[in-house]
Amino acid sequence: MNLRRGSLLLLALIGSLIVLAPAMARTVTDQLNRTVTVPDHVERIVVLQHQTLDILVELGAADKIVGVLRTWQKLIPGLDKYAPQLTSLPMPGDLSTVNVEEVLKLKPDVVFVTNYAPPAMIDQLAQAGLPVVAISLSKGEGVEAPKLNPTFSDDDVAYSEGLKIGVRLIGDIVGKRERADRLLDYAFAQRKLVEERVASIPGAERVKLYMANPDMNTYGSGKYTGVIMKRSGGVNVAAGVRGATKVSMEDVLAWNPQVIFVQDRYAPVADEIRKGPAWQHVDAVENKRLYITPEYVKPWGYPLPEALALGELWMAKKLYPQRFADLDMQKQADAYYQQFYGQGYTGPN
């Protein structure tokens, strides 16, 4: 009887220790070079950055997301087709604002924010006891790391290496590292295809490009948009300005781009250009070389894997159709989307 009572007491003690023991945790370094303690097993995620949201869906971790940024549908049009559950989730914050009480109600294991989120916002979340991981998808050093418009010695290297670091970090945190590696391998292999085909184009024959954002805004140097243009064999006419910035009609007329791209999330800008009297004197408009980028191009200020895998290819094919005549973009998009979104691509090409 005493032996049985002792065994029961021992089992009760072990059970209490299991209950009281803290969840296993580990430390990671985010892309602001902050050391963050996160649980070993992350099951609940709040995402306040659209690039990370897209990557989580590609990694097959959408089922772990319990809260999203308010503007995600505007910033990533079409993502709901591949992860419809996102449309019903709470939206406790955005890129630069957050309601900490609402985030706490969601009991997240980790909160992802952008590298340029205000320091006070990151501190608020961290002081509430939440693991906050900042993602930039760029390799920024020192004071450049938290900037929206950073200055890099080499934009291409900064975004290529930063994308690898960011995707692997997200994959590690959510238990999807193997898939993160597959995603990166696919993206960089596709990028090589474009690189090889545009390498022989002389500098003087490269097409001059302009990215038209709302209200005469564009992307200059220091942003991934300039990298995707260069990688596709083009020349960004706005390379002389810094980051995401407003320019004048006089600037555009002086640059006289041969091709104008408009991101799909800003599609109405294309109609404004087609109807605008001043724009009729621009080479791209005169020759009807104004293109709205499909969903998968994502020629944003910061890169995404599908921008490398599909976006650079799509853009190069628009600029130099004869060099890429053998490639069917629908087939290219379907192959990528089947593997990383779980279904074929259903948007425009």
* pLDDT tens per residue, range 248-268: 999 999 999 999 999 999 999
Distance (Å, whole) CA 10 – CA 96: 51
What dihedral do alpha carbons 182, 188, 189, 192 form, nearest 10°?
180
Using 70 as the pLDDT threshold, list the residues of the chain that sit under it: 1-23
Quick one: pLDDT at residue 96?
97
- Residue identified by tokens 């089947």 is 338
Q: Assign domain 202-340 to its CATH superfamily.
A: Nitrogenase molybdenum iron protein domain (3.40.50.1980)
Res 9: pLDDT: 44
Which residue carries 């130099």 as its tokens?
Answer: 320
Take residue 217 and report the two structure tokens written for it. Answer: 């805004």
Query: Cβ distance 224 to 308 under 8 Å?
Result: no
pLDDT at site 18: 40
Q: d(Cα 70, Cα 349) in Å, to the nearest integer? A: 27
- Residue ranges, CATH 3.40.50.1980, the chain: 18-175, 202-340
Check: CATH 3.90.1720.10 for 18-175? no
HSE (side-chain half, CA atoms, 13 Å) at 340: 29
Please tell me the predicted confidence (pLDDT) of residue 141.
Answer: 85
CA–CA gap between residue 205 and residue 317 (Å, rounded): 15
Bridge partners, 218 (sequence order): 245
Number of other CB atoms surrounding residue 45 within 10 Å: 26
Q: How far apart are CA 10 and CA 12, in angstroms?
A: 5
What pLDDT was estimated at residue 15? 45
pLDDT at 23: 62
Helical axes 155-173 vs 224-231, angle rounded to 10°: 110
Name residue 259's beta-bridge partners: 209
